[in-house]
Structure 1
Amino acid sequence: MKILGWTCVLAAVGNTAAKAHPHVFAEARLEVSITDDGSIGELRHVWRFDELFSSTVLLEFDMNANLKFEPEELAEVGKIVHASLADFDYYTSIISNGKDVGISAPDAIHVDFADGQLLMLFAVTPDRPVPLNGTISFGVYDPTMYTAIDFLNDSDLVVEGRLGACQRSVIRPDPDEILAQNQESLTEAFFNDPEGNDFSKFFATRLELKC
């Protein structure tokens, strides 16, 4: 069978859903590790996708048509996701004192399928040293707004390592407040480029460290 790229799989789900974003849903966990020298280490992701999308991926990648994933099929999903999400920094945002920090690609994206849901596990690192200094925030979101990545509980955003004098908090922006504060700029961005703007980061739950 023909194997679609990851963005094509996302689009296939979107074509069967309503026009409004998002079309794919994932419950997430993020672990931010602190190195011994007091800087940001790995950001470890766990994503559990909704059953509808998971079944769509199963049908697309089930190369031997036995309605279950074989190890090589899961590896193929991971390989395609790894390549497809590179342009989106693997849906990972790090902002250090108001400046975006680039993301280094993970070595691999590990994929599993359990209880009818697709699981993805991987770790990324900042592409430059990020010391615990000032305000650092970490967010996970899809800039195209096809995928809603949700942290159900504040405890799903974890810091591992010594924070020292840093204070940890989880920020859950109020959508109505965000729209009210940025109505003109958000409306202009949406109508200029509804698929390619990056205003979804305003609505994303984030982990924040103040040091």
Structure 2
Amino acid sequence: MNLSRKSLAALAIPAAMMAPATAFAHPHIFAEARLEVETTENGQISELRHVWRFDEVFSSSVMLDFDRNGDFVLDNSELASISEVVTDSLSDFDYYTSLTVDGADGSISLPDPIKVSFQDGQLLMFFAVLPKEPLPLDGTIAVGVFDPTMYAAIEFTTDEDMVVTGASADKCTSRVVRPDPDEVIAQNQGSLTEAFFSDPTGNDISKLFATRLELDCK
């Protein structure tokens, strides 16, 4: 496995063989993201739709790795190989999707493989995860997107990149929450040790830093 394939797998696989463990405290891969929380006419959340556009440096490394015939174009079979790697890898981390209902963790599933394309020199991934159980628009619902290993930074450039869509989009009020890093660090100084960052399985601190969409359906 060469460097770019390792990096692609590192979107979800924490492994010392990829990089020193402390490196996971600093993102190496960057993606601009969009999240759509799709709702139904009967007042439920049906899908959490993701689009990720990766930085050009990482995208170029993926191109070099997966372009087997060397024509600088990723054909359908080459894109399918990328899809297989990321779909299998991200399953261990709930596809970087955090879902909570009134503070309790919710479960999700991925019905279809992650779709991949290459546009204007950048790698795109798009997919939808579904709540495993019926999820009515009731109480406080929060959806965040983050990499627990801190290897990848999933960024929402504007608040308009996190939206509620569908027939019941107006049932709840929503807001985008962007935690202040200094406040997060100050509130968690006791746990931010070297051992904490060296945990190759990831940790919850990245969840505290993650931008999230909160729905108030009370």
TM above 0.5: yes
Percent of paired sites with the same residue? 59
List alignment gaps of at least 5 residues for structure 1: none
* 1:9, distance to aligned residue in structure 2 (A): 8.0
Structure 1 Cα separation of the partners of residues 169 and 146 of structure 2: 25
Aligned residue in 1 for 2:142: 137
The one of 97, 111, 121 aligned to 2:126: 121
What whole-Å deviation, never above 9, does each CA across 1:10-62 have from its counterpart, x for those lacking one? 88xx75xx945100000000010011221111011100000010011111111
Q: Closer, same or farther in 2 for the Cα pair 1:95/1:174, shift >3 Å? A: same
* 1:189, distance to aligned residue in structure 2 (A): 6.7
Aligned residue in 1 for 2:65: 60
Aligned residue in 2 for 1:95: 100
Contact between 1:35 and 1:41, CA under 8 Å: does it hold in 2? yes
What whole-Å deviation, never above 9, does each CA across 1:145-190 have from its counterpart, x for those lacking one? 1000000000000111224542110000000011111221343872
Normalised to the residue count of structure 1, the TM-score between the two structures is: 0.89
Structure 1 Cα separation of the partners of residues 205 and 38 of structure 2: 27
What whole-Å deviation, never above 9, does each CA across 1:75-117 have from its counterpart, x for those lacking one? 1111211111000100111100011111102312111111110
Contact between 2:176 and 2:214, CA under 8 Å: does it hold in 1? yes
Task: Give secondary structure in 1 for the equivalent of 2:137.
Answer: coil
Aligned residues: 209
Structure 2 Cα separation of the partners of residues 104 and 9 of structure 1: 18
List alignment gaps of at least 5 residues for structure 2: none
What whole-Å deviation, never above 9, does each CA across 1:106-143 have from its counterpart, x for those lacking one? 31211111111000111111111221111100001111
The one-letter code matched in structure 2 to 1:142 is D
Runs (4+) off by over 6 Å = none
The one of 11, 19, 27 aligned to 1:22: 27
* 1:193, distance to aligned residue in structure 2 (A): 2.2
Question: 2:72 aligned with 1:70, yes or no?
Answer: no
* 1:72, distance to aligned residue in structure 2 (A): 1.1
Structure 2 Cα separation of the partners of residues 38 and 129 of structure 1: 10
1:19-58 correspondence to structure 2 within 5 Å:
19=23, 21-58=26-63
The one of 184, 189, 211 aligned to 1:205: 211
Q: Closer, same or farther in 2 for the Cα pair 1:82/1:183, shift >3 Å? A: same
Task: Give secondary structure in 1 for the equivalent of 2:47.
Answer: strand
The one-letter code matched in structure 2 to 1:121 is F
The one-letter code matched in structure 2 to 1:7 is A
The one of 163, 167, 177 aligned to 1:158: 163
Normalised to the residue count of structure 2, the TM-score between the two structures is: 0.86
Contact between 2:5 and 2:62, CA under 8 Å: does it hold in 1? no
Deviates more, 1:108-117 or 1:190-199: 190-199
